[in-house]
Chains A and B, each alone.
Chain A
Amino acid sequence: MSTPRQFEVCAVGDGSAIFWSQINSAGLGLEPQTGTPAVPKFFTRHIRYVIHYIMFVKGNFMDEFEKRAWWNLGVAVGAVVAFATLWIVTRNPAGSMAAFAVLALSAAPFFRLRQPVSDERDREIDRKSMIAAMNLFWILLVIGAVGMGFALGWDTHVQVPVRAFSDVIWGGWIVILTAKSTASIRMYRAR
């Protein structure tokens, strides 16, 4: 009478049981075999699915310039989120301006050794999205310039810190970056 060997039990399934048993035996405790896991499995599975979908399914069919637009949108949103987080956490408005360093990442695609080749559709989308971004920027600029005069009075003297000017300049760049990338993505994905 022979006793079943232990590895035969582990060999059933997709191999993840062996993987996690090795992880647990190493004492890392990343995924407990029993009890409630720290992060629900269905959640991690969905995150993995989304990452896989973006990188390997949509990524293969996505135009290089559409990827660049997604990157710029992410950078703009990231800068705003970092600014708000720093402001809330540190309570230091001047120090929060460090978050605008995130915007430097928008230049990252230009450092690629092999630049993607653009054709007439890319150039047209770039032109149209730039026009859309500049239109929005000018509307906001005029509203801001005229609105301040009407709200505060044209001859009123106000004192503002220097960082307010910097914030406005960075904010303007964020508006242009967001509007341009959003318009590009919209045109690339138009049906």
Chain B
Amino acid sequence: MPGKGEVVRNNIRRLRFDAGEMTQEQLGRLAGVKRHTIMAIEAGKYAPSLLLAFRIARAFGKNLEDVFIFDSGCTAQI
């Protein structure tokens, strides 16, 4: 469960665009989920499981951290 201010962002929309304007339906088929789930992940409404996150990253041929970015919500203070 994410802590206060912690959020997982993603680049799925940009990566879909880069991959020849791949549709959510096509990505869903590659990752083994429905279009609605891809929509929810893309909009940040749903945090996917680790397995699904790896499947999505593999669909783009990228590493996990190229697709999903962990934002701790605070900046380091020196």
Residues of A within 8 A of B (CB): 61, 63, 117, 119-122, 190-191
Contact = CB atoms under 8 A, between A and B. Distances in A.
A117 B45 CA distance: 20
Contacts of A119: 32-34, 37
16 contacts: A63-B36, A117-B34, A119-B32, A119-B33, A119-B34, A119-B37, A120-B37, A120-B48, A120-B49, A120-B52, A121-B36, A121-B37, A121-B48, A122-B34, A190-B45, A191-B45
The 5 A-B residue pairs with the shortest CB-CB distance in the complex, in nearest-first order: A119-B33, A121-B37, A63-B36, A119-B34, A119-B37
Contacts, number: 24
Greatest chain B CB density within 10 A among A61, A120, A121, A191 is at A121
A63 B45 contact: no
A138 to B, nearest CB: 23
B30 interface: no
A146 B53 CA distance: 47
A121 B32 contact: no
